[in-house]
Amino acid sequence: MLIVAAPVLAQEPVAPYATTTEVCFSPSCGACITPATPHQIFGVDCFGQAGCKACGGGEVGWNALGPIEWQRFAQGEYLGPHRQQHVPEYRLRVDDQVDFVFRVTRDRSPEPYQLNIGDTIRVEVFADETLNRELTILPDGTVVLLLIGEVQASGMTADQLREKLETLYKKYYKQPNVAVTPLLVNTKLEDLRATVDARQGVGGQVFNTRVTPDGSIALPAIGNVPVNGMTLGEVKREADERYNQVVYGIEVTPVLVTRAPRFIYVLGEVGNPGRFELVAPTTLTQALALAGSWNVGANLNQVVVFRRADDWRLLATMVDIRGALFAKQPCPSDEIWLRDSDIIIVPQSPVLQFDNFVDLVFTRGIYGVLPGQATAVQFTRIGSL
Protein backbone atom coordinates (compact mmCIF):
# COMPACT_ATOMS: atom_id res chain seq x y z
CA MET A 1 0.00 0.00 0.00
CA LEU A 2 1.48 3.29 -1.13
CA ILE A 3 1.16 6.23 1.23
CA VAL A 4 1.70 9.70 -0.23
CA ALA A 5 2.38 12.56 2.17
CA ALA A 6 0.36 15.73 1.66
CA PRO A 7 2.39 18.70 0.54
CA VAL A 8 3.19 21.29 3.19
CA LEU A 9 1.94 24.72 2.14
CA ALA A 10 4.13 27.67 2.93
CA GLN A 11 2.50 30.17 5.30
CA GLU A 12 2.59 33.86 4.55
CA PRO A 13 4.26 36.05 7.14
CA VAL A 14 1.84 37.73 9.52
CA ALA A 15 1.87 41.50 9.59
CA PRO A 16 2.99 42.98 12.93
CA TYR A 17 -0.35 44.69 13.47
CA ALA A 18 -2.34 41.47 12.93
CA THR A 19 -1.56 40.28 16.43
CA THR A 20 -3.83 40.93 19.37
CA THR A 21 -1.09 42.72 21.28
CA GLU A 22 -0.09 46.33 20.83
CA VAL A 23 3.06 47.17 18.90
CA CYS A 24 4.73 50.45 19.80
CA PHE A 25 6.83 52.54 17.47
CA SER A 26 8.51 54.06 20.47
CA PRO A 27 7.83 52.88 24.01
CA SER A 28 8.43 56.39 25.29
CA CYS A 29 5.87 58.13 23.10
CA GLY A 30 2.93 55.88 23.95
CA ALA A 31 1.71 55.84 20.32
CA CYS A 32 0.84 52.16 19.86
CA ILE A 33 -0.91 50.34 17.05
CA THR A 34 -3.46 47.54 17.15
CA PRO A 35 -5.42 45.66 14.46
CA ALA A 36 -8.09 48.35 14.74
CA THR A 37 -5.60 51.25 14.65
CA PRO A 38 -2.76 50.17 12.35
CA HIS A 39 -1.42 53.68 11.73
CA GLN A 40 0.54 56.02 13.91
CA ILE A 41 -1.07 59.38 14.61
CA PHE A 42 0.91 62.62 14.83
CA GLY A 43 -0.51 65.50 16.78
CA VAL A 44 0.06 68.13 19.46
CA ASP A 45 -0.49 67.61 23.16
CA CYS A 46 -1.30 71.08 24.46
CA PHE A 47 -0.10 70.19 27.93
CA GLY A 48 2.49 67.46 27.61
CA GLN A 49 4.39 69.10 24.75
CA ALA A 50 4.03 72.64 25.99
CA GLY A 51 6.97 72.48 28.38
CA CYS A 52 7.56 75.82 30.00
CA LYS A 53 4.99 77.33 27.66
CA ALA A 54 2.30 75.64 29.70
CA CYS A 55 3.25 78.06 32.48
CA GLY A 56 2.27 81.05 30.38
CA GLY A 57 5.19 81.33 27.97
CA GLY A 58 3.02 81.36 24.85
CA GLU A 59 0.95 79.15 22.60
CA VAL A 60 2.24 75.89 21.18
CA GLY A 61 2.16 75.82 17.38
CA TRP A 62 1.88 73.09 14.77
CA ASN A 63 5.68 72.89 14.69
CA ALA A 64 5.39 70.85 17.91
CA LEU A 65 3.85 67.96 15.94
CA GLY A 66 4.90 64.51 17.11
CA PRO A 67 3.66 60.97 17.87
CA ILE A 68 0.67 61.17 20.14
CA GLU A 69 -1.52 58.68 21.99
CA TRP A 70 -4.58 59.48 19.92
CA GLN A 71 -6.50 56.20 19.51
CA ARG A 72 -5.83 54.48 22.77
CA PHE A 73 -9.28 52.87 22.92
CA ALA A 74 -9.56 52.22 19.17
CA GLN A 75 -13.10 51.05 18.39
CA GLY A 76 -14.14 52.05 21.90
CA GLU A 77 -13.29 55.72 21.38
CA TYR A 78 -16.94 56.64 20.92
CA LEU A 79 -17.47 55.90 24.61
CA GLY A 80 -14.73 58.29 25.62
CA PRO A 81 -12.10 57.69 28.29
CA HIS A 82 -12.60 58.04 32.00
CA ARG A 83 -12.00 61.70 32.77
CA GLN A 84 -11.36 63.55 35.97
CA GLN A 85 -14.35 64.88 37.87
CA HIS A 86 -15.67 68.30 36.91
CA VAL A 87 -14.92 69.81 40.31
CA PRO A 88 -12.98 68.47 43.34
CA GLU A 89 -16.09 68.84 45.52
CA TYR A 90 -19.57 70.06 44.70
CA ARG A 91 -21.03 72.89 46.76
CA LEU A 92 -24.72 73.59 46.89
CA ARG A 93 -26.17 76.70 45.33
CA VAL A 94 -29.57 78.36 44.99
CA ASP A 95 -32.23 76.23 43.26
CA ASP A 96 -30.40 72.93 43.76
CA GLN A 97 -32.91 70.21 44.60
CA VAL A 98 -31.90 67.89 47.45
CA ASP A 99 -33.51 64.75 48.88
CA PHE A 100 -32.95 64.05 52.58
CA VAL A 101 -33.14 60.35 53.41
CA PHE A 102 -34.05 59.73 57.05
CA ARG A 103 -32.89 56.66 58.98
CA VAL A 104 -33.58 55.54 62.53
CA THR A 105 -30.19 54.77 64.06
CA ARG A 106 -31.33 52.40 66.86
CA ASP A 107 -28.28 53.54 68.79
CA ARG A 108 -28.28 53.45 72.55
CA SER A 109 -29.04 56.83 74.06
CA PRO A 110 -26.26 58.16 76.31
CA GLU A 111 -28.84 59.78 78.61
CA PRO A 112 -31.95 58.31 80.31
CA TYR A 113 -35.07 58.74 78.23
CA GLN A 114 -37.19 61.72 79.13
CA LEU A 115 -40.92 61.52 78.65
CA ASN A 116 -42.41 63.70 75.91
CA ILE A 117 -45.82 65.09 75.08
CA GLY A 118 -47.86 62.34 73.42
CA ASP A 119 -46.06 59.47 75.18
CA THR A 120 -48.26 56.84 76.82
CA ILE A 121 -47.45 55.53 80.30
CA ARG A 122 -49.07 53.15 82.79
CA VAL A 123 -49.23 54.23 86.42
CA GLU A 124 -49.85 51.52 89.03
CA VAL A 125 -50.41 52.16 92.74
CA PHE A 126 -50.09 48.85 94.57
CA ALA A 127 -51.68 50.29 97.73
CA ASP A 128 -54.92 50.83 95.80
CA GLU A 129 -55.40 49.11 92.44
CA THR A 130 -58.40 51.33 91.64
CA LEU A 131 -55.91 54.15 90.96
CA ASN A 132 -54.16 52.25 88.16
CA ARG A 133 -54.37 54.11 84.86
CA GLU A 134 -52.95 54.22 81.29
CA LEU A 135 -52.31 57.87 80.53
CA THR A 136 -51.17 59.97 77.58
CA ILE A 137 -49.08 63.00 78.40
CA LEU A 138 -51.18 66.04 77.48
CA PRO A 139 -50.02 68.95 75.28
CA ASP A 140 -49.26 70.95 78.42
CA GLY A 141 -46.92 68.17 79.58
CA THR A 142 -49.10 66.90 82.42
CA VAL A 143 -51.02 63.74 83.31
CA VAL A 144 -54.19 63.66 85.40
CA LEU A 145 -54.39 61.14 88.26
CA LEU A 146 -57.07 60.34 90.79
CA LEU A 147 -56.75 62.04 94.19
CA ILE A 148 -53.75 64.17 93.22
CA GLY A 149 -54.97 65.75 89.94
CA GLU A 150 -52.54 67.23 87.38
CA VAL A 151 -48.89 66.27 87.62
CA GLN A 152 -46.12 67.55 85.35
CA ALA A 153 -44.58 64.57 83.47
CA SER A 154 -42.95 65.91 80.32
CA GLY A 155 -39.19 66.23 80.57
CA MET A 156 -38.92 63.73 83.41
CA THR A 157 -37.60 60.18 83.35
CA ALA A 158 -39.89 57.33 84.36
CA ASP A 159 -38.01 56.92 87.65
CA GLN A 160 -38.22 60.64 88.45
CA LEU A 161 -41.97 60.61 87.81
CA ARG A 162 -42.37 57.50 90.01
CA GLU A 163 -40.59 59.21 92.91
CA LYS A 164 -42.74 62.31 92.49
CA LEU A 165 -45.98 60.29 92.48
CA GLU A 166 -44.97 58.32 95.55
CA THR A 167 -44.34 61.56 97.40
CA LEU A 168 -47.75 62.91 96.41
CA TYR A 169 -49.62 59.67 97.25
CA LYS A 170 -48.02 59.44 100.71
CA LYS A 171 -50.56 62.05 101.69
CA TYR A 172 -53.18 59.28 101.35
CA TYR A 173 -51.20 56.04 101.78
CA LYS A 174 -48.40 55.18 104.14
CA GLN A 175 -46.63 53.04 101.52
CA PRO A 176 -48.21 53.70 98.10
CA ASN A 177 -45.58 51.71 96.12
CA VAL A 178 -46.02 53.40 92.71
CA ALA A 179 -44.75 51.96 89.40
CA VAL A 180 -44.48 53.95 86.12
CA THR A 181 -44.16 51.93 82.93
CA PRO A 182 -43.65 53.67 79.54
CA LEU A 183 -45.88 52.05 76.89
CA LEU A 184 -45.48 54.36 73.88
CA VAL A 185 -42.38 56.52 73.65
CA ASN A 186 -40.34 58.46 71.08
CA THR A 187 -43.41 60.27 69.85
CA LYS A 188 -41.27 63.13 68.52
CA LEU A 189 -39.32 60.64 66.43
CA GLU A 190 -42.50 58.97 65.19
CA ASP A 191 -44.03 62.32 64.28
CA LEU A 192 -40.92 63.18 62.29
CA ARG A 193 -40.99 59.83 60.51
CA ALA A 194 -44.64 60.35 59.63
CA THR A 195 -43.79 63.75 58.17
CA VAL A 196 -41.15 62.34 55.81
CA ASP A 197 -42.91 59.05 55.08
CA ALA A 198 -42.89 58.49 51.30
CA ARG A 199 -43.68 54.78 51.23
CA GLN A 200 -46.87 55.48 49.28
CA GLY A 201 -44.86 57.43 46.67
CA VAL A 202 -41.21 56.98 45.81
CA GLY A 203 -40.63 54.72 48.82
CA GLY A 204 -38.68 55.12 52.03
CA GLN A 205 -38.52 58.06 54.39
CA VAL A 206 -37.47 60.92 52.15
CA PHE A 207 -38.04 64.64 52.27
CA ASN A 208 -37.49 66.69 49.13
CA THR A 209 -36.45 70.32 49.37
CA ARG A 210 -34.87 73.06 47.28
CA VAL A 211 -32.25 75.66 48.16
CA THR A 212 -34.10 78.96 48.43
CA PRO A 213 -32.78 82.32 47.12
CA ASP A 214 -31.46 83.15 50.60
CA GLY A 215 -29.29 80.01 50.48
CA SER A 216 -31.22 77.92 53.00
CA ILE A 217 -33.36 74.79 53.05
CA ALA A 218 -36.39 74.02 55.22
CA LEU A 219 -36.42 70.69 57.08
CA PRO A 220 -39.13 69.25 59.34
CA ALA A 221 -38.73 69.92 63.07
CA ILE A 222 -35.59 72.06 62.72
CA GLY A 223 -36.71 74.75 60.26
CA ASN A 224 -34.40 76.70 57.96
CA VAL A 225 -30.79 75.57 57.66
CA PRO A 226 -28.22 77.71 55.74
CA VAL A 227 -26.53 75.47 53.13
CA ASN A 228 -25.39 77.75 50.31
CA GLY A 229 -21.76 76.98 49.44
CA MET A 230 -21.66 73.84 51.60
CA THR A 231 -20.76 70.33 50.48
CA LEU A 232 -23.21 67.47 50.98
CA GLY A 233 -21.01 66.13 53.77
CA GLU A 234 -21.11 69.47 55.57
CA VAL A 235 -24.88 69.64 55.16
CA LYS A 236 -25.23 66.15 56.66
CA ARG A 237 -23.16 67.05 59.72
CA GLU A 238 -25.11 70.28 60.23
CA ALA A 239 -28.51 68.58 59.90
CA ASP A 240 -27.56 65.66 62.16
CA GLU A 241 -26.34 68.02 64.86
CA ARG A 242 -29.53 70.07 64.74
CA TYR A 243 -31.75 66.98 64.83
CA ASN A 244 -29.85 65.60 67.83
CA GLN A 245 -30.86 68.72 69.74
CA VAL A 246 -34.53 68.05 69.00
CA VAL A 247 -34.95 64.27 68.81
CA TYR A 248 -32.44 61.50 69.38
CA GLY A 249 -32.12 58.44 67.18
CA ILE A 250 -32.38 59.87 63.65
CA GLU A 251 -29.78 60.63 61.00
CA VAL A 252 -30.18 62.16 57.55
CA THR A 253 -28.34 61.69 54.28
CA PRO A 254 -28.63 64.51 51.72
CA VAL A 255 -28.73 63.41 48.07
CA LEU A 256 -28.38 65.90 45.22
CA VAL A 257 -31.30 65.16 42.87
CA THR A 258 -31.27 68.06 40.41
CA ARG A 259 -28.69 70.77 39.95
CA ALA A 260 -29.80 74.35 39.55
CA PRO A 261 -29.96 75.25 35.84
CA ARG A 262 -26.88 77.01 34.53
CA PHE A 263 -27.03 79.26 31.47
CA ILE A 264 -24.75 81.19 29.15
CA TYR A 265 -25.84 83.99 26.86
CA VAL A 266 -24.48 84.41 23.33
CA LEU A 267 -25.36 87.47 21.28
CA GLY A 268 -24.02 89.53 18.44
CA GLU A 269 -22.91 88.19 15.06
CA VAL A 270 -23.98 84.57 15.51
CA GLY A 271 -26.56 82.47 13.73
CA ASN A 272 -28.88 81.87 16.67
CA PRO A 273 -28.28 84.28 19.58
CA GLY A 274 -29.96 83.50 22.88
CA ARG A 275 -29.69 81.69 26.18
CA PHE A 276 -28.23 78.18 26.33
CA GLU A 277 -28.12 75.75 29.24
CA LEU A 278 -24.79 74.45 30.48
CA VAL A 279 -25.23 70.70 30.82
CA ALA A 280 -21.50 69.88 30.78
CA PRO A 281 -18.13 71.67 30.79
CA THR A 282 -18.30 74.09 27.85
CA THR A 283 -15.68 76.14 26.03
CA LEU A 284 -16.05 79.32 23.99
CA THR A 285 -15.96 77.45 20.67
CA GLN A 286 -18.63 75.06 21.89
CA ALA A 287 -20.79 78.06 22.86
CA LEU A 288 -20.51 79.41 19.30
CA ALA A 289 -21.57 76.01 18.00
CA LEU A 290 -24.64 76.14 20.27
CA ALA A 291 -25.44 79.59 18.86
CA GLY A 292 -25.33 78.42 15.24
CA SER A 293 -21.73 79.46 14.44
CA TRP A 294 -20.59 82.98 13.53
CA ASN A 295 -21.91 85.23 10.80
CA VAL A 296 -19.97 86.73 7.94
CA GLY A 297 -18.63 90.04 9.17
CA ALA A 298 -18.11 88.93 12.77
CA ASN A 299 -15.10 90.42 14.51
CA LEU A 300 -13.58 87.17 15.79
CA ASN A 301 -10.43 88.77 17.14
CA GLN A 302 -12.34 90.89 19.67
CA VAL A 303 -14.88 88.52 21.22
CA VAL A 304 -15.88 89.81 24.66
CA VAL A 305 -16.84 87.60 27.62
CA PHE A 306 -18.52 89.14 30.67
CA ARG A 307 -18.53 87.27 33.97
CA ARG A 308 -19.85 87.79 37.48
CA ALA A 309 -17.51 87.02 40.38
CA ASP A 310 -18.56 85.38 43.67
CA ASP A 311 -19.53 88.79 45.09
CA TRP A 312 -21.41 89.69 41.86
CA ARG A 313 -18.82 92.24 40.67
CA LEU A 314 -18.39 92.41 36.90
CA LEU A 315 -15.34 90.92 35.15
CA ALA A 316 -14.58 91.07 31.43
CA THR A 317 -12.03 89.71 28.99
CA MET A 318 -11.45 90.02 25.25
CA VAL A 319 -10.16 87.05 23.24
CA ASP A 320 -9.10 86.32 19.69
CA ILE A 321 -10.62 83.00 18.60
CA ARG A 322 -9.37 83.04 15.01
CA GLY A 323 -6.52 80.73 15.95
CA ALA A 324 -9.01 78.04 16.96
CA LEU A 325 -11.68 78.60 14.30
CA PHE A 326 -9.28 78.91 11.35
CA ALA A 327 -6.96 76.08 12.54
CA LYS A 328 -4.02 78.43 12.92
CA GLN A 329 -3.19 77.25 16.43
CA PRO A 330 -3.52 73.70 17.79
CA CYS A 331 -3.42 74.97 21.38
CA PRO A 332 -5.17 78.37 21.34
CA SER A 333 -5.00 80.19 24.63
CA ASP A 334 -8.28 81.93 23.83
CA GLU A 335 -10.27 78.68 23.87
CA ILE A 336 -11.38 79.36 27.43
CA TRP A 337 -13.82 77.53 29.70
CA LEU A 338 -17.15 79.19 30.40
CA ARG A 339 -19.21 79.18 33.55
CA ASP A 340 -22.73 79.97 34.67
CA SER A 341 -24.14 83.39 33.65
CA ASP A 342 -21.26 84.21 31.28
CA ILE A 343 -22.22 86.59 28.45
CA ILE A 344 -20.43 86.12 25.12
CA ILE A 345 -20.61 89.02 22.67
CA VAL A 346 -19.40 88.52 19.10
CA PRO A 347 -19.17 92.11 17.75
CA GLN A 348 -19.34 93.35 14.19
CA SER A 349 -16.15 93.89 12.23
CA PRO A 350 -15.25 97.51 11.33
CA VAL A 351 -16.16 96.81 7.71
CA LEU A 352 -19.63 95.61 8.69
CA GLN A 353 -20.10 98.59 10.98
CA PHE A 354 -19.26 100.96 8.12
CA ASP A 355 -21.51 98.97 5.79
CA ASN A 356 -24.43 99.36 8.21
CA PHE A 357 -23.70 103.07 8.56
CA VAL A 358 -23.80 103.56 4.79
CA ASP A 359 -27.03 101.56 4.54
CA LEU A 360 -28.61 103.52 7.39
CA VAL A 361 -27.66 107.01 6.16
CA PHE A 362 -27.65 106.78 2.39
CA THR A 363 -30.28 104.08 1.72
CA ARG A 364 -32.81 104.45 4.53
CA GLY A 365 -31.91 107.90 5.83
CA ILE A 366 -32.37 111.39 4.58
CA TYR A 367 -30.44 110.80 1.35
CA GLY A 368 -32.84 108.01 0.46
CA VAL A 369 -35.78 110.43 0.13
CA LEU A 370 -34.03 113.31 -1.66
CA PRO A 371 -33.87 113.67 -5.44
CA GLY A 372 -30.80 112.15 -7.01
CA GLN A 373 -30.40 109.30 -4.62
CA ALA A 374 -26.88 108.17 -3.95
CA THR A 375 -26.09 104.53 -4.63
CA ALA A 376 -25.00 102.76 -1.48
CA VAL A 377 -22.35 100.07 -1.77
CA GLN A 378 -22.64 96.95 0.38
CA PHE A 379 -18.97 96.38 1.18
CA THR A 380 -19.66 93.04 2.86
CA ARG A 381 -21.22 91.77 -0.37
CA ILE A 382 -18.34 92.77 -2.64
CA GLY A 383 -16.89 89.30 -2.40
CA SER A 384 -20.09 87.81 -3.83
CA LEU A 385 -20.29 90.16 -6.85
- pLDDT for res 41: 86
List of residues 6+ apart from 208 with CB closer than 8 A:
97, 98, 99, 100, 257
Encode pLDDT of 362-377 as tens digits: 666 555 555 555 455 5
Burial status of residue 362 (CB atoms within 10 A of its CB: 0-12, 13-18, 19 or more): middle
Q: Write down the H helix ranges in the chain.
A: 158-169, 187-195, 232-244, 284-290, 322-325, 350-358
Among residues 340, 297, 339, 346, the alpha carbon closest in space to that of 320 is found at 346
The domain defined by 97-108+189-258 carries CATH number 3.30.540.10: no
Taking a C-beta distance cutoff of 8 angstroms, is the pair 315, 341 a contact? no
pLDDT value at residue 14: 41
> Measured between alpha carbons, how far is 234 from 250 in angstroms, rounded to an integer?
17
Question: Residue range 235-252: average pLDDT?
Answer: 91
> With bands split at pLDDT 50, 70 and 90, how would you rate the model's confidence at 12?
very low
Percent of the residues in the chain that have a pLDDT greater than 90, as a whole number: 48
Q: Does domain 263-348 have CATH number 1.10.10.2840?
A: no
Is the model's pLDDT at 117 over the cut of 50?
yes
Q: Per the CATH hierarchy, to which homologous superfamily does domain 120-184 belong?
A: wza like domain (3.30.1950.10)
Taking residue 305's Cβ as centre, other Cβ atoms within 10 Å add up to 20
Q: Do domains 97-108+189-258 and 120-184 have the same CATH topology?
A: yes
The residue with greater pLDDT, 4 or 207, is 207
Domain ranges of the chain: 16-79, 97-108+189-258, 120-184, 263-348, 351-384
Higher pLDDT pick, 7 / 290: 290
DSSP code of residue 102: E
pLDDT for residue 201: 54
Express each pLDDT in 38-73 by its tens digit.
888 888 888 765 554 445 557 788 888 888 888 888
Identify the pLDDT of residue 97.
96
Q: What is the mean pLDDT of the chain?
A: 82
Segment 215-233, tens digit of pLDDT: 999 999 899 999 999 999 9
| C-alpha–C-alpha distance, residues 225 and 244, integer Å | 14
Report the distance separating Cα 352 and Cα 268, nearest Å. Answer: 12
81 has a pLDDT exceeding 90: no
DSSP per-residue letters across 322-337: HHHHTTS-SS-TT--B
